[in-house]
Amino acid sequence: MLDAGEDAPEFELRNQNDELVRLSEFDGHVIVYFYPRANTDGCTIEANEFNDALEGRDDISVVGISDDPVSDLATFAEEYDLEFDLLSDEEGEVATLYDSYGEKRMFGNVFDGVFRNTYVVGPEKTIDAAYEGVSPEGHAEAVLEDIESRSAEPVS
């Protein structure tokens, strides 16, 4: 995992609308969350919770990154009315930069895939917080609470 204070790796990926999205284009805090597969139970819970938690907020952005193709992301975003960018990292290159891609085991099979990790990137494009191997349910609310508590801390 990347540590708080490290520079967030820049990325340029296509979203569900086949548009290029760059980390450097965001202002304020950006929640960058990595998820294994669009339209699966855990990933749907996580996406819907981020969508609901950030509804009406323009001070915090969120992007979800998986190794799904753009077409799968488009279907996922449309089906659940997701209001944020889902980014396609089919080769896992960006996920690798964020220590969120590698060997996984499931049902006796070994394969490379995306790990369920989340980063909060601050306005200066440094890592403010990192969450490894998260559970989808309740995660969005916990991340949002952490951002708000950090913002409320006095500056010394």
Torsion angle, alpha carbons of 68, 70, 75, 79, to 10: 80
Instruction: Write out the chain's pLDDT in tens, 156 residues.
Output: 999 999 999 999 999 999 999 999 999 999 999 999 999 999 999 999 999 999 888 899 999 999 999 999 999 999 999 999 999 999 999 999 999 999 998 889 998 999 999 999 999 999 999 999 999 999 999 999 999 888 765 544
Fold of 12-134: Glutaredoxin (3.40.30)
Per the CB < 8 A criterion, the answer to whether 47 and 140 are in contact is: no
Q: Which sequence spans correspond to the domains of the chain?
A: 12-134
Strand order in the sheet with 12-15: 20-22, 12-15, 85-88, 60-66, 29-34, 118-121, 127-131
Of 43, 65, 114, 134, which one is the catalytic site residue?
43
pTM as predicted: 0.94
State the Cα angle at 87 between 137 and 103, rounded to 5°: 70
* 33 neighbors 62 (Cβ within 8 angstroms): yes
111 has catalytic annotation: no
* Beta carbons within 8 Å of 137's beta carbon, 6+ residues apart: 45, 46, 49
